[in-house]
Structures are given as structure tokens and as C-alpha cells.
């Protein structure tokens, strides 16, 4: 299988990551932060080291501001439900994933809040000017995904961060498709929160991810329970990061995430360049195939390339490519508003997404298969 579905999860995982997960299960395997014995302390060090490594990647000075959760969706839910209350207004975009759209729209449908859902311009992003024009006196939160999981186009998050700061509005960035694939600097962006997955650009296992929460931003805990601290109290503690990490952490998964993030930190520029070159090459070559259309009119910022073949649904194209041992994702990619905007809500798109393990030969194999489908059919 030529795997080109890295926007869903990176694969194959590096052997070092696999060995780290297996090693943690074999040699420590204890509950971090729940006891003073050697194994629990060793597990706790792994978790702390991972907070430090992620902090290094995003230019965060305080590892305590990194809270781990189940995945990026879990982190987005913590951020959204943790700060948005009845009577608030939220600004977001049609480029968001359902992990942000559903919790926000759920509150809208219940009549609790209002929202502004902004459409991207011709270049595929929502401008800072659009965001500022949507600000209302009761605007509480701006939610923007750094890179669309459908188009691969980045949003002007630095400029949007300035708008949020100017108006005193909280700014949440969804880093699902950017962290580990292009520069993410929370100081430059000026975001209050950054949600991230562990299993995509950071090369870690599924079931890992978390939320950076800027110092001074207080969220209502999404889950409450055991934290290993303040056990004498039946009230959720407010110490960071325990306030947002009730229950047993996925320490063995975090062990793999630690190693994956270290790999990215050590070779980040090379990784970013590799994926960008292959993504640009794929997008450019698709333009020359008759009967094939890319969703956007410019190359992506991350190596995510959506396309369609005339006469076929995206599901048919993806199924045929799978028959030829090439893995891409068809459908709506859990982002219906994007496809509504681009007029593909009934068609979807076949999405090819490149990772660090892919080669030009992989992309060429995809291009050859797509050309054959376009010329000769399925």
C-alpha cells in the first residue's frame, strides 16, 4: 500500500516511536503522578519530558501550560466548553473541522449563544479584516484552524491574533494539520489556546493530544475526578496542568509522542520542506491532467491536496485507488462547511496527504493512477 492519508493519521509510525510505546509498557507501565514509587515516578518523568518537548516545538516557556487529553477533538471541546457561556458570541470559519463546528453549533441550536460563520476568500483563507468586522460587544472566542484539513491552506493566524488581542477576545487555534508540518509559534501567533493531536505531524500514537493554554486563561474543567493532587478535597483542583487532566493519562502513548516530537524538533526544517515539496509537486502535476480538478486555485501550505475526477464521486475514485493499492481519503473529511463553500457537498473530494515517509515515487504512482482513471475510467 502506498499510504497517502497522513492528514488522517501519520503512517507508518517511526520504529523509535513504536519501541518507545512497547518499552514503556514493558518497563514502567505505572500510573504517572499517582504514587511515590519508582515506576510511577518514571512514568511521571516521561509525561513531563513530553510537555517540555512540545513546549520547545511551539515556543512555550512553561510546560505546565500543556494539558494532555485524548486527542485534538478532546482538546477543542475543553477549550470551547471551558470558556463559552450562555449569551456569548463566537466567531469561526467555514474551514473548520466538525470537532470545532459541532460543539459551537450545538450551543447555537440550543439557543445558548450566537455565532458568525465566515467564508474564505478566493485565496482559500479568512482574512483578519473579516474577523474584525464580525466582532461584537459580546464576542467571547475566535476559533480558527491553522490549516484546513481539506484544502491544506493556512490561515493568517498572526494577523487574527492581533485582532483578538485588540478587542480582548480569546483566540483558539486548531493545530490539527499544522503542528509538526509547519512553524507553530504561540508567541508569534498570540493565541490563548492551541489544540493539537499527537498522532499526525508529531508522529505519535493515536489517543494522544492536548491543549496549550496561555498563562492567565482559566477554563472550566471539561472532566472532573482524580488528579493525584489535592486528594483530600472533593473539589476539582485549579493547579496546572492537573486541573484539566482528570483520570489516568495515556502514559504509554505519551511515551511514543515524546519520541515522535523529539524527532520533529531535531529535523523540523527538513520535515517541513520535504512535505511541502511533494505537496506542491502533486498539486502542480494534477493541473495538467484533463478531467481532474483540484479544489483550490493555488498549491497548499501543507501537503494536503483534494481533487476530483470528472464523472466519478470522490468515493468511487478513492475505492479505485485502493484497488490499485494507493490509500487516499474520499468524502467530506468531517468538514461539511468547506465542501458547501466549494460546491462539493454532494461530491466530496479525494484527498491525498503526504507525510515524511512518502517519496516522489509514491506521488508519481498516484499521478499515473489518476491519469489512467481520468482517461480510461474505472
Look over the chain and give the mean of its residue pLDDT values, rounded to a whole number.
Answer: 96
Q: Are residues 249 and 282 in the same domain?
A: no
Query: Looking at 215, 243, 263, which one is the last position of a domain?
Result: 263
Query: Quick one: pLDDT band at residue 272, thresholds 50, 70, 90?
Result: very high
Indicate if 222 and 339 belong to the same structural domain.
no
User: Is the pLDDT score of 228 beyond 80?
Assistant: no
Domain that holds residue 157: 15-263
What's the per-residue H, E or C state across 65-95? HEEEECCHHHHHHHHHHHHCCCCCEEEEECC
Percent of the chain with pLDDT over 90: 92
Task: Assign residue 297 the CATH number of its domain.
Answer: 3.90.1150.10
**Confidence class for position 308, pLDDT limits 50, 70, 90:** very high
* Predicted local confidence at residue 231, as pLDDT: 82
Q: Distance between CA 275 and CA 147 in Å, rounded?
A: 14
How far is the C-alpha of 298 from the C-alpha of 294, rounded, in Å?
Answer: 9
Range 310-349 burial, b when 16+ CB lie within 10 A, else e: eebbbeebbebbeeeebbbbbbbbbbbbbbebbebeebbb
Between residues 322 and 229, the one the model is more confident about: 322
Number of domains in the chain: 2
Whether 259 and 272 map to the same domain: the answer is no
What pLDDT shows up at residue 229?
Answer: 75
Find, among 17, 315, 15, 335, the residue nearest to 153 by Cα. 335
Largest Cα–Cα distance of the chain, in whole Å?
A: 70
Helix (H, G, I), strand (E, B) or coil at 347: coil
Q: Looking at residue 95, which CATH number applies to its domain?
A: 3.40.640.10
3-state secondary structure of 52: helix
Predicted TM-score (pTM) of this structure: 0.96
Q: Inform me whether the pLDDT recorded for 230 exceeds 90.
A: no
Q: Are 293 and 343 within one domain?
A: yes
CA atoms within 13 A on the CB side of 179: 34
What end-to-end distance do the CA atoms of the chain give, in Å?
19
Q: C-alpha grid cell for residue 41?
A: 515516578
335 and 188 part of one domain: no
Q: Is 269 exposed, middle or buried (0-12, 13-18, 19+ CB in 10 A)?
A: exposed
Task: Tell me: do 123 and 239 sit in the same domain.
Answer: yes
Q: Which residues make beta-bridge pairs with 147?
A: 154
Average pLDDT over residues 211-220: 97
> Final residue of a domain: which of 239, 263, 287?
263
pLDDT band of residue 129 (cuts 50, 70, 90) is very high
Q: Are residues 245 and 98 in the same domain?
A: yes
Q: How many Å separate Cα 49 from the centre of its chain?
A: 21
Same domain, 39 and 163: yes
308 lies in the same domain as 235? no
Same domain, yes or no, for 248 and 292? Answer: no
pLDDT tens per residue across span 1-59: 999 999 999 999 999 999 999 999 999 889 998 888 999 999 999 999 999 999 999 99
Does the pLDDT value for residue 118 go beyond 90?
A: yes
Final residue of a structural domain among 244, 263, 282: 263
CA 75/CA 129 separation, integer angstroms = 27
- Which one, of 77, 153, 167, lies nearest residue 122 by Cα? 153
If asked whether residues 208 and 325 sit together in one domain, one would say no
The whole-angstrom separation of Cα 252 and Cα 20 is 8
191 and 220 inside one domain? yes
Mean pLDDT within 161-176:
98
Indicate if the pLDDT at residue 157 is higher than 80. yes
Amino acid at each position: 500500500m502506498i499510504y497517502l492519508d497522513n492528514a488522517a493519521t501519520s503512517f507508518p509510525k517511526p520504529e523509535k516511536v513504536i519501541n518507545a510505546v512497547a518499552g514503556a509498557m514493558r518497563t514502567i507501565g505505572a500510573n504517572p503522578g499517582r504514587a511515590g514509587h519508582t515506576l510511577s515516578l518514571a512514568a511521571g518523568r516521561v509525561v513531563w519530558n513530553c510537555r517540555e518537548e512540545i513546549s520547545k516545538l511551539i515556543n512555550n516557556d512553561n510546560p505546565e501550560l500543556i494539558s494532555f487529553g485524548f486527542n485534538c477533538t478532546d482538546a477543542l471541546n475543553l477549550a470551547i466548553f471551558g470558556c463559552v457561556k450562555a449569551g456569548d458570541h463566537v466567531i469561526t470559519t467555514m474551514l473548520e473541522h466538525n470537532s470545532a463546528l459541532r460543539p459551537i453549533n450545538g450551543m447555537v441550536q440550543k439557543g445558548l449563544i450566537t455565532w458568525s460563520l465566515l467564508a474564505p476568500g478566493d485565496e482559500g483563507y479568512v482574512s483578519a479584516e473579516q474577523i474584525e468586522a464580525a466582532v461584537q460587544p459580546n464576542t467571547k472566542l475566535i476559533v480558527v484552524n491553522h490549516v484546513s484539513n481539506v484544502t491544506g491552506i493556512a490561515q493568517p493566524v498572526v494577523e487574527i491574533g492581533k485582532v483578538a488581542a485588540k478587542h480582548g477576545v480569546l483566540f483558539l487555534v486548531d493545530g490539527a494539520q499544522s503542528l509538526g508540518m509547519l512553524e507553530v509559534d504561540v508567541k508569534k501567533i498570540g493565541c490563548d489556546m492551541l489544540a493539537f493531536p499527537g498522532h499526525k505531524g508529531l508522529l505519535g500514537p493515536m489517543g494522544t493530544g492536548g491543549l496549550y493554554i496561555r498563562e492567565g486563561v482559566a477554563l472550566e474543567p471539561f472532566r472532573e475526578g482524580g488528579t493525584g493532587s489535592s486528594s483530600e478535597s472533593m473539589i476539582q483542583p485549579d493547579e496546572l496542568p492537573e486541573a484539566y487532566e482528570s483520570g489516568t493519562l495515556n502514559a504509554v502513548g505519551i511515551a511514543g509522542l515524546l519520541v515522535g516530537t523529539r524527532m520533529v524538533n531535531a529535523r523540523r526544517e527538513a520535515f517541513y520542506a520535504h512535505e511541502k515539496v511533494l505537496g506542491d509537486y502533486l498539486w502542480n502535476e494534477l493541473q495538467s491532467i484533463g478531467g481532474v480538478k483540484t479544489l483550490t486555485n493555488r498549491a497548499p501550505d501543507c501537503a494536503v491536496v483534494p481533487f476530483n475526477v470528472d464523472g466519478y464521486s470522490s468515493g468511487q475514485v478513492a475505492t479505485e485507488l485502493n484497488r490499485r493499492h494507493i490509500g487516499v481519503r474520499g468524502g467530506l473529511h468531517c468538514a461539511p462547511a468547506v465542501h458547501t463553500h466549494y460546491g462539493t457537498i454532494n461530491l466530496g473530494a479525494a484527498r491525498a496527504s503526504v507525510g515524511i515517509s512518502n517519496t516522489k515515487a509514491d506521488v508519481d504512482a498516484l499521478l499515473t493512477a489518476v491519469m489512467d482513471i481520468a482517461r480510461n475510467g474505472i
